[in-house]
Structure 1
Amino acid sequence: MSDNKQEKIFHEAPGRKVSLRDVRNIGIMAHIDAGKTTVSERILYYCGVNYKLGEVHEGTATMDWMEQEQERGITITSAATTCMWKNHRINLIDTPGHVDFTAEVERSLRVLDGAVAVFCSVGKVQPQTETVWRQAQKYHVPIIALVNKMDRTGADFYGAIEEMKFKLHANAVPIYLPIGKEADFAGCIDVVNNKAVYFDGDENGAKMRVEEVPAEYAEKREEAFRNLVECVAEVDEEVMELFLADEMPSVEVLVPAIRRATLAASIVPVCCASAFKKKGVQCVLDAVVDYLPSPVDIWDIHGSNPATGEPMSRHVGDMQPFAALVFKIMNDPFVGKLSFFRIYSGVAQRGMTVLNPRTGKRERLGRLLQMHANSREERDEIYSGDIAAAVGLKNVTTGDTICLEDDPIVLEAMSFPEPVISVAVEPKSSGDRDKLYKALGALSDEDPTFTMRSDEETGQTIISGMGELHLEIILDRLVREFKVECNTGAPQVAYREALEKPADADCKFVRQSGGRGQYGHVIMDITPMPAGHGITIENKVVGGRIPKEYIKPIENGIREAAAGGVMVGYPLIDFHVNILDGSYHPVDSSEMAFKIAGSMALKEAARKAGMMLLEPIMKVEVTSPDENMGDLIGDVTSRRGIIVEMNSSAQGGFTKILAHIPLSELFGYATAIRSLSRGRASYSMEPSHFERVPKSIQDKIMEKK
């Protein structure tokens, strides 16, 4: 990401009010309860969007607009808004911290240019922080870190930085230092400008005082400044030359150099704040403007040609051909289906016709809306680099590209984790059946990690999601938004099937019932592969024993049979198939016959290989008072859990346990942990990996099936 302006010539539309260089698309991301939504609320207040401060604990936060969010005090859906700070437009997305809603973070990070990662000064680096950090790295999103809750007892700014370095392998470099801590947290020291910044509480923190650095902090600031210069010098030639000459760079030289290092992910600038006490958020906004990228810094937008699949790219600018990525679908009770999109190039105009390369169909952009959480502002045009929503896109789903028909491109979509928990649902009355299916369809359009299917054996409708809370919210929305009452069965774990050893199969599918028959013959072998390998198929047929046009149907048959499972109906995963040989009939062979033969061959080979069940294992972090630790460890063990790590120094009188526990043993865990610790312990969990189910439990599952 070169900062050379000569290389990046782009043209802006005459109606644009804010230059593309002054746009920031950022997300607020963190572990649950680190203070993301409170930070977002303060940003909106100081930027003049809100005229009163919303509070999460009171259910008045603008960004937590869903009833379910206000009741639970957590963020469930990512909310988008726009504000101005020092003549820069900031498009802001507040993302959820709970692992059940990780898809919201995934799709938000895909369309954002930068992110603010919020850390609790007491909890420091928590499990979900690691997850969102990995997601940000996956999409090459530069990050600024904010150590929040500096007013809390046990706040440890420098400890949080050390954990970032150790657990996240981040080159975390403080650009602001705290003045005081816990109840005495008063403000921040600006390391770059050598100033102390104080916030007057009686003005809701909006009134800032900038003074000289207090004498007792002068040495700390000097040490932090040298550390900052050293870290930047490692990746920036201009600062390196000054550093080697034993000269300190000026602010005019250092700020652009910090920006370049941040964009290259060589450093992570760290700020500090107490968002709840209204101290330090303005410093974070300054850092966002100074160090996080504009769309111009991203510049090249990579994609592929929808006709040929060949890689292609274009760059940002209003005068480029229009291309945007739809990253979120939402059903709005007032305007219908809303499609949130990020424009990478060109300008979206009300009423324009666009192409969806996935479907090959044209769509019309009806109304264009600038979103502010769940309120909206009508716009005639949305410019390159902006995030907005459109009404009127009918056959568009999360991850679709919309572009010009005569200059098409497919932008890189996003990937989502597989659901790990399922429940059966049925309408309370037969008259609600159609309403239920329609509502579930609308919800699965919104959420890529929520799926629905019909169980062929029982005829039940099975819904699947990322956790108990995820499905609880879905069922709550069915009642409140869609007015559908339904009964639910007990939650079921999404197991997987896997092979014990290699095997082969020789299968013929022959049907003769007068006239033309069906004939397909496949010989193949199957090999179990390591976790995460997926399903791979290789064609090793020679001499035209099976015509090429029948190879794809065989592959389809294998994949369909694997999806339906062989042993008890759970998907078969992580194996490699070699299609070795077979035969065909010049008259009776067909694609359908070879598809069925491929399916039969997979099932036969799998049965010969021997099957085992795999269960999802969750990474669970429990923070508990020391006096309850024995009971909690005993409970983890009774749930077939394995303690991976214990840390008694996390907080005074508290201990952290990190354990791997099977998901099937975690239903109702929230109630159990409250009862064992008299409500004082807390926990969080996220999917870790799949592991073999013990034989005794596998036999019980087989009996039920």
Structure 2
Amino acid sequence: MGATSHQAGAAGRALTADRPSSIRNVVLVGHSGSGKTTLVEALALTAGAVNRAGRVEDGATVSDYDEIEHRRQRSVQLSLVPVEWGGIKINILDTPGYADFVGELRAGLRAADAALFVVSASDGIDGATRMVWDECEAVGMPRAIVVTHLEAARSDYTQMATVCGEIFGADDPDAVIPLYLPLHGPAGPDGHAPVTGLLGLLSRRVYEYSSGERVERDPDPAELALITEARSRLIEGIIAESEDESLMDRYLGGEEIDFKTLVDDLERAVARGTFHPVLMAAPAADGARQGLGTVELLELVTGGFPTPLERAAVAVTRPDGSARPDVTCDPDGSLVAEVVKTSSDPYVGRVSLVRVFSGTLKAEETVHVSGHGLADRGHEDHDVDERVGSLSSPFGKQQRVLTRCIAGDLACVAKLTRAETGDTLSAKDDPLLMAPWTMPDPLLPLAIEAHSKADEDKLSQGLARLVAEDPTMRLEQNPHTHQVVLWCLGEAHQDVALERLRTRYGVQVDPVPHKVSLRETFGAKAAGRGRHVKQSGGHGQFAVCEIEVEPLPPGSGIEFVDKVVGGAVPRQFIPSVEKGVRTQAARGVAAGYPLVDVRITLLDGKAHSVDSSDAAFQTAGALALREAAAEARIDLLEPVAELAVVVPDEYVGPVMSDLAGRRGRVVGTDQAEPGRTRVRAEIPEIEIGRYAVELRSVSHGTGRFARAYARHEPMPPQIAEKVREQAGKGS
């Protein structure tokens, strides 16, 4: 590592791989602003994929090329940047760092075989990044760490490397160790000494970048002393992970372990996910060809990160659920590919980013599309054949044509009109289905209305296309409130959804206040008389009915009882009265919310031999119910949710206090996982409309929660009165 350089290449042409062993799939992970996109551009420049920092031949940036990303100055979607180094194709998956777009991060983790955690030397490590590290740890994904923002005045690489060891190496401190030390240039007026090169701990060489290109030399005595002091711990950490059990005894006995043995053991330990080296990187200065540390990082990726062949076999079933042997990364095997991202191009149409796990995907062939379906999120199940359009390798806004994509590689597929994110592509004569990956539940509601009649005509199609691209978004047509609701992961997610509807699909919508499904019920027994008598020539309208209403236990619904005697209301009109009161109950009797949990008893009435009719008794029934409501206390019932909040132990107190302030009732706590507690509570849904945002603040981005409807229960009188006042203003 760091002993030799490689020839760069790949500018202006589509990168192809002829065997899985020459592919590396790497996902970049880190909080928003940590420097992931800048690092991608620096690596592309060093690898010769761009002609100047961050630009491809047509002047577009290699990532964050979406217009929404340009306007927001923030990544909001997964992007693929393929580069080549030393004959190895590296698929770099740049993910958004903002929590609202964690679905894009999940897709990147699914498509990658290793993760590069990007940490800012000036900002540190946030809680969300720690959580992703733990998730990668749980599945054994190989990881390395790169420290960025070395140019910041308050940055300190050595200190940040120590912090990385403490946080990421909490269980094994000797598994998170720097491979290089910084070489500092002269201090500036502010006292900050810039990093101009690297001191290689294994190679005992110095790599200068001050000229704009990597220059290798021997260390001077002071530099050698720094290297020697830090080298022992690194070697011991590598040897501790070595498969050669005699190596530690030989080293402790004073034997000099040769450089190649150390590098080979390091690379094997990294590929197994048991050793996590810390490196540093910085973008190239204006006019420079290489950014600091980028050569070393590319060498680690190509030499230390695993090939797709080392990925565990992928579990598959047939679409009908029947068993099927797992598939391995074999270009000649059964075709199994997965759509990890779906987007729309104004000229090409729908474009699917696909990871091929087995077999070879070819342009213009017919494949089978299988999808699990997410009915609760507006996604239908898929089990159809589709013809693949062209294959391409993305690079910024460019799409470079490919003829095929082998197992282990990624490519963009055009014109898959039915396939959505998470769907499986397989051979039409051997349809297969991969298990879905875990996606977060969208828990922040956004109620919308079409801005105009023209927008209303396009709304349904626009929403369908929007949700097809983003499986973390759920579309709801609420039958109780009659609202169209987009459930999102956060406010930024909402904003991007609205912007995409407007700019990409030409649909202007207006956000409106989200309504919860309130109910009404009688607080005590009451009676009502409905009299509907009209005479206007010819047949008139005549119906009178008397009812009694009494409350029932929660969950009882509406119960109708007939106690008419003597034929006061003819038998054929009893159903008419019932239909009238049920229709009125659905409309509400006080604030316009459905009436529930009451028994309505028809006691008496009057009819006319000529003027009575079905419609007249329906109207009389509704009038009787309204009169009873006018004389009774009507309670508003609000939906109560069962909430399960999982947070680090240190945030349990603030979370419980916050829930109490929302009229929540904590019903218990238990250990969710090491260092994290699950708080179980019952809380009115009206109090948690923005909880997805507010929990993030309370828990510093480390909390998550799930919610489920429990029941409706009476709303406190003072709050109910405010709701009634608002309902009155609305009417």
Is TM more than 0.5 here? Answer: yes
Q: CA deviation at 1:139?
A: 4.7
Q: Which residue of 1 aligns with 2:267?
A: 259
Q: Which residue of 1 aligns with 2:433?
A: 410
Pick from 426, 450, 453: which aligns with 1:427?
450
Q: CA deviation at 1:24?
A: 0.7
Task: State yes or no: 1:290 paired with 2:300.
Answer: no
Q: Give the residue type in structure 1 aligned to 2:176.
A: A
Q: Which residue of 1 aligns with 2:178?
A: 174
Tell me how far apart the structure 2 counterparts of residues 51 and 381 of structure 1 sit (CA, whole Å).
27
Task: State yes or no: 1:388 paired with 2:411.
Answer: yes
Q: RMSD of the TM alignment (CA)? A: 4.0
Q: Which residue of 2 aligns with 1:517?
A: none
Pick from 464, 468, 473: which aligns with 2:496?
473
Q: CA deviation at 1:62?
A: 2.7
Q: Which residue of 2 aligns with 1:118?
A: 118
Pick from 211, 214, 235: which aligns with 1:208?
214
Pick from 338, 351, 354: which aligns with 2:367?
354
Q: Which residue of 2 aligns with 1:35?
A: 35
Q: Which residue of 2 aligns with 1:521?
A: none
Q: CA deviation at 1:209?
A: 0.8
Give per-residue Cα distances to partners, 1:189-216, cap 9 Å, x unaligned: 1222111111135xxx3x1111122432
Q: Which residue of 2 aligns with 1:198?
A: 208
Q: CA deviation at 1:280?
A: 1.6
Q: CA deviation at 1:494?
A: 12
Tell me how far apart the structure 2 counterparts of residues 175 and 259 of structure 1 sit (CA, whole Å).
12
Q: CA deviation at 1:403?
A: 1.2
Matched-pair identity in %: 22
**Structure 1 487/348 Cα, relative in aligned 2: closer, same or farther at 3 Å?**
same
Q: Conserved in 2, the CA contact under 8 Å of 1:179 and 1:187? A: yes
Q: Secondary structure of 1:21's match?
A: helix
**Structure 1 691/157 Cα, relative in aligned 2: closer, same or farther at 3 Å?**
farther
Pick from 235, 252, 255: which aligns with 1:229?
235
Give per-residue Cα distances to partners, 1:513-550, cap 9 Å, x unaligned: xxxxxxxxxxxxxxxxxxxxxxxxxxxxxxxxxxxxxx
Q: Which residue of 2 aligns with 1:588?
A: none
Tell me how far apart the structure 1 counterparts of residues 352 and 717 of structure 2 sit (CA, whole Å).
46
Q: CA deviation at 1:41?
A: 0.7
Q: Which residue of 2 aligns with 1:525?
A: none
Tell me how far apart the structure 1 counterparts of residues 138 and 322 of structure 2 sit (CA, whole Å).
22
Q: Give the residue type in structure 2 aligned to 1:234.
A: A
Q: Secondary structure of 1:200's match?
A: coil
Q: Give the residue type in structure 2 aligned to 1:251.
A: F
Tell me how far apart the structure 1 counterparts of residues 257 and 556 of structure 2 sit (CA, whole Å).
73
Give per-residue Cα distances to partners, 1:2-61, cap 9 Å, x unaligned: xxxxxxxxxxxxx97554212111111101101000000111111122112139xxx974
**Structure 1 220/483 Cα, relative in aligned 2: closer, same or farther at 3 Å?**
same
Q: Conserved in 2, the CA contact under 8 Å of 1:421 and 1:466? A: yes
**Structure 1 698/75 Cα, relative in aligned 2: closer, same or farther at 3 Å?**
farther
Q: Give the residue type in structure 2 aligned to 1:177.
A: L
Tell me how far apart the structure 2 counterparts of residues 702 and 93 of structure 1 sit (CA, whole Å).
51
Pick from 363, 369, 376: which aligns with 2:386?
363
**Structure 1 300/617 Cα, relative in aligned 2: closer, same or farther at 3 Å?**
closer
**Structure 1 702/341 Cα, relative in aligned 2: closer, same or farther at 3 Å?**
farther
For the pair shown, the structure with the greater C-alpha radius of gyration is 2
Q: Conserved in 2, the CA contact under 8 Å of 1:306 and 1:409? A: yes
Q: CA deviation at 1:506?
A: 12
**Structure 1 700/133 Cα, relative in aligned 2: closer, same or farther at 3 Å?**
farther
Q: CA deviation at 1:184?
A: 2.2
Tell me how far apart the structure 2 counterparts of residues 492 and 160 of structure 1 sit (CA, whole Å).
47
Tell me how far apart the structure 2 counterparts of residues 617 and 183 of structure 1 sit (CA, whole Å).
45
Q: Conserved in 2, the CA contact under 8 Å of 1:177 and 1:221? A: yes
TM-score, normalization by structure 2: 0.66
Q: Give the residue type in structure 1 aligned to 2:472.
A: T
Q: Secondary structure of 2:209's match?
A: strand
Q: Which runs of 5+ in 1 are unaligned?
A: 1-14, 496-502, 511-567, 570-609, 621-632, 642-659, 674-682
Tell me how far apart the structure 1 counterparts of residues 97 and 218 of structure 2 sit (CA, whole Å).
37
Q: Which residue of 1 aligns with 2:276?
A: 268
Tell me how far apart the structure 1 counterparts of residues 153 and 123 of structure 2 sit (CA, whole Å).
11
| Count of residues in correspondence between the two structures | 535
Q: Conserved in 1, the CA contact under 8 Å of 2:91 and 2:410? A: yes
Tell me how far apart the structure 1 counterparts of residues 193 and 718 of structure 2 sit (CA, whole Å).
55
Q: Which residue of 2 aligns with 1:106?
A: 106
Q: Conserved in 2, the CA contact under 8 Å of 1:422 and 1:492? A: no
Q: CA deviation at 1:477?
A: 1.5
Give per-residue Cα distances to partners, 1:142-165, cap 9 Å, x unaligned: 111001112212223233233333
Q: CA deviation at 1:105?
A: 0.3
Tell me how far apart the structure 2 counterparts of residues 129 and 95 of structure 1 sit (CA, whole Å).
12
Q: Which residue of 2 aligns with 1:376?
A: 399
Q: Which residue of 2 aligns with 1:184?
A: 194
Q: Which runs of 5+ in 2 are unaligned?
A: 1-14, 186-191, 286-290, 372-381, 519-552, 561-592, 595-637, 649-653, 663-678, 680-686, 725-731
Q: Conserved in 2, the CA contact under 8 Å of 1:325 and 1:401? A: yes
Q: Conserved in 1, the CA contact under 8 Å of 2:53 and 2:284? A: no
Q: CA deviation at 1:235?
A: 2.3
Q: Which residue of 2 aligns with 1:579?
A: none
Tell me how far apart the structure 2 counterparts of residues 440 and 222 of structure 1 sit (CA, whole Å).
61
Q: Give the residue type in structure 1 aligned to 2:326.
A: S
Q: Secondary structure of 1:91's match?
A: strand
TM-score, normalization by structure 1: 0.68
Tell me how far apart the structure 2 counterparts of residues 30 and 304 of structure 1 sit (CA, whole Å).
34
Tell me how far apart the structure 2 counterparts of residues 290 and 125 of structure 1 sit (CA, whole Å).
26
